[in-house]
Each structure stands twice: as C-alpha cells, then as structure tokens.
Amino acid sequence: GNSVTQMEGPVTLSEEAFLTINCTYTATGYPSLFWYVQYPGEGLQLLLKATKADDKGSNKGFEATYRKETTSFHLEKGSVQVSDSAVYFCALSNTGNQFYFGTGTSLTVIP
Amino acid sequence: NAGVMQNPRHLVRRRGQEARLRCSPMKGHSHVYWYRQLPEEGLKFMVYLQKENIIDESGMPKERFSAEFPKEGPSILRIQQVVRGDSAAYFCASSPGRHEQYFGPGTRLTVT
C-alpha cells in the first residue's frame, strides 16, 4: 500500500539553526512527493515537490531530495527563521490521483 | 484565478443539528478531497470525489456523514445529528489531476 511516515514533533529550534524533518514513504510504482506547510489558523500550502527519483524540490530556502533507494524525502533548511514556525506535512501522490499525508511535524523557532 | 473557497469559515452547531460545509474548487479542477483535522492532530483523509462521482470514501464515518460534488455548484460535506466529537477543522482540496492539491482555508466546526 501507500503511506507516509514523518518524524514526530514538536521540534523547537533557535533562529538560524539547521532544520531536518525526516519523511519516509511506502508506495507502489513511482509516486510524486510533496511538502506542505500549515501556518496557525490557515489551510495547507504547497511548499515544494519532486516528481521523480533524484529530483530536488526547493522553495524559500527549504529543500528536499527524492531518494528512491532509501524511500525518503527529508525536508531541510540551512538557517531557520521565526516566521518558519508552522506545521509541516509530507505527502505522496500515486496512481488514481490519491494523496497520502503524514501526521505533520510542528516546528517552533525561537529568537 | 481564485483559490479554493470554503464556507462558512466558522460554523457553530448544537448537538443533533445538521452541518453543511461547502467547497468551491479552483477553476478547471474536477477532483475534490475532504480532510478532517482534529486539534493537535494530523490530517485525516475523508473522501475523494470527481464531478458527480464518489471515488474513495474509505475515510468517511459510516453513519451521519455524506459528501457530494454535483455537476453544477460546490462540493458539499454534510454531517447529520452532529456530536461534540465532530468539532474539528474540515479542509477541502482540489486538483486538476495527478498534481499537487490546493487547499482551502478550512471550515472550523464547533459543536456545543
């Protein structure tokens, strides 16, 4: 079947620290992979995506590389800001237009 | 191109009443998904619809919940005889196909 497993939170970092949020997946075939971000009181927004193995998605300083050999799509940012405080969701899309989300990882960045 | 619209943004219902949540997908999108998010929890898939068809309702409770996406008009998530445990944020997302989903701002349902 298809599923996504995310690193459990909450994660608390100081401003300018390095961020990694782990995400691994199980899927049949060749899924597309996504990271979404949810700010307090809002809906989810697409942060970045990768559609095939070895693709790197990037946006706003965040990066994630589609690793087929390790079935992973870890989210990284070199220097976090207070404004990055949010909940981050890893997701995959497979055949049939179905989407599968992880449980979310809450990030708090303190000044 | 307007984003995914959901209304109402906030809905208060007494136990036993009905709740109707509406979702207008982005223009050109024929796929709609509903999710529920309980406080301090992740996103739970409920149902996936295309125009006039339910494709996957494996996440929907068997009783009191129903969803539709008619040929004309918004998608509707209907909860009959609400209970306190139905209090949650309900998100709708739309997609043109095998692409990323675009989320609406959500409807926050409070059952008193």
State whether residue A88 sits within 8 Å of chain B by CB.
no
Coil/strand/helix, residue B58: coil
A22 touches B: beta carbon within 8 Å: no
Query: Which pLDDT does position B43 carry in this prediction?
Result: 83
Residue ranges of chain B whose CB lies within 8 Å of a chain A CB = 4, 31, 33, 35, 41-43, 45, 48, 55-56, 91, 93, 95, 97-106
For the record, the structure tokens of A53 come out as 């193995």
Cβ within 8 Å of residue A24, ≥6 positions away: A4, A5, A70, A71, A72, A73
| Cα A45–chain centre separation | 11
Q: What are phi and psi of A106, to 5 degrees?
A: -85, 130
Residue B87, token pair as written in the block: 């209090």
Residue B110 pLDDT class (50, 70, 90 cuts): very high
Q: HSE (CB half, 13 Å, CA atoms) of A19?
A: 31
Sign of the Cα torsion B51, B53, B56, B59 reads positive
A97, B97 contact by CB (below 8 A): yes
d(CA A102, CA A9) in angstroms, rounded, equals 12
- Check residue A41 and give its pLDDT: 83
Q: What is the pLDDT of residue A94?
A: 81
Most confident listed range (A64-73, B33-42, B90-99): A64-73
Given a cut of 60, whether residue B1 has pLDDT beyond it is: no
User: Which residue stretches of A1-111 are H helix?
Assistant: none
CB-CB under 8 Å, A36 with B106: no
Q: How many Å separate Cα A68 from the centre of its chain?
A: 15
Q: pLDDT tens, A11-59?
A: 999 999 999 999 999 998 889 999 999 998 888 999 999 999 999 999 9
> For tokens 């004309």, what's the residue?
B72
- Residues A54-100 have pLDDT tens digits of 999 999 999 999 999 999 999 999 999 999 999 999 999 887 677 88
Tokens of B30: 């024929």
Phi, psi at B84, each rounded to 5°: -60, -35
Share of chain B above pLDDT 70, in %: 96
State residue A30's pLDDT score. Answer: 84
User: Is 80 exceeded by the pLDDT of residue B2?
Assistant: no
**Cβ <8 Å between A97 and B48:** yes
| Mean pLDDT along residues B37-51 | 85
**Residues 37-66 in A contacting B (C-alpha not used; CB under 8 Å):** 42-46, 49
CA B96 – CA B27 distance, rounded (Å): 9
Dihedral sign computed on CA atoms, order A107, A91, A28, A73? negative
**pLDDT attached to residue A53:** 93
- Between the alpha carbon of residue A90 and those of residues A14, B12, B66, the distances in Å are 23, 31, 27
Query: Of A3 and A85, which is predicted with more confidence?
Result: A85
Q: Is A3 on the interface with B (CB under 8 A)?
A: no
B111 vs A9, residue with greater confidence: B111
Which chain A residues contact residue B38 at CB under 8 A? none
Output the pLDDT for position B98. 65
Looking at the predicted structure, is the pLDDT value of residue B78 above 90?
A: yes
- Determine how β-strand A44-50 pairs with β-strand A56-59: unpaired
Mean pLDDT of the region B27-44: 87
